[in-house]
Amino acid sequence: MRQCLSVILLFWSLFFTAFSAQATPVIPHKTDIPLIAAASSIKFALDDIVKQFEADTGLSVNVSYGSSGNLVAQIMHGAPFQLFLSADESYVEQLAKVHLIKGEAQVYAIGKLALVAPKSSPLLLDKALLGVKTLLASGQLYRFAIANPRHAPYGERAQVLLNRLGLWDKIQPRLVLGENVSQAAQFVLTGAVEGGIVALSLAIRPQFTEKVNYLVLPMDLYPPLKQSMALLNKADTTAALFYQYVLSSKTQSIFKQYGFAKIESQ
């Protein structure tokens, strides 16, 4: 009889335990750290945002930076990312077409291009790139850095801008292509090139401006850099919370500090 009673009590104990587990909402645990894919153009802004998110919520995320095109390729090959922050909305659309995102994509910032040159360079900066034309004509422009247009949105926009100003064909033999816009900026920072076109968000950093001059380029010379993000199919609760956090007014003010235009201006 006692053995039978014990079995009955064990059954009801397991039943209520299972019911409670189903009824209790899932709360993200500190050990559940989602991996986020992000364009290198937002590295320094996003690093600050991640720190603020951790301070405000007690939750953590890990970020892997790269060119938007390369990150898309990794996601399509099964990389365990849960959120993708692209430098251009077209790359998120590629993932949407193959059903790899949850819900709708969202523009989180508008990027800007900057013309940059080491302070030791003879290149004079101006919005019409007359300094670049002059240096090309005199044979003093040996190397010019941009991100690779094939898979980096900032490089693709730089190509459009150079085309519109009649410089693309002439400058192509002098181009040094970065794997992403961050690497292109590094070429300028180290003095390996006479100049380049990179993300304003990288050019305005104090560590950069100590050695490099920069000039914001007119946004009407290239298509808008609508930096878009989307949750991926593997996204957990923490990733979803961070997605919403990126759209908060606090986070938007951080993007503004790094030279991004407001979302409303798209």
Q: Give per-residue pLDDT as tens, 39-82.
A: 999 999 999 999 999 999 999 999 999 999 999 999 999 999 99
Cβ pair 80, 234 in contact under 8 A: yes
Mean pLDDT over the full length of the chain: 88
Q: Does the structure show a pLDDT above 60 at 228?
A: yes
Gap between the Cα atoms of 2 and 266, Å rounded: 73
Gyration radius of the chain over CA positions: 24
Cβ pair 230, 102 in contact under 8 A: yes
**SS3 at position 4:** helix
Q: Does the structure show a pLDDT above 80 at 176?
A: yes
Residue among 160, 207, 202, 164 at smallest CA distance from 181: 202
pLDDT of residue 40: 94
Q: Give the percent of the chain with pLDDT over 70.
A: 87
The helix or strand, by DSSP H or E, that contains position 168, with its residue range, turns out to be: helix 168-171
Neighbours of 128 (CB within 10 A): 11
Neighbours of 62 (CB within 10 A): 11
Gap between the Cα atoms of 213 and 188, Å rounded: 10
Residue 126, token pair as written in the block = 């101006």
Q: Give per-residue pLDDT as tens, 156-168.
A: 999 999 999 999 9
Gap between the Cα atoms of 170 and 187, Å rounded: 20
pTM of the model: 0.84
Residue 52 has φ and ψ, to the nearest 5°, of -70, -40
pLDDT band at 264 (very low <50, low <70, confident <90, very high): low
Cβ pair 233, 102 in contact under 8 A: yes
Residue among 66, 261, 87 at smallest CA distance from 158: 87
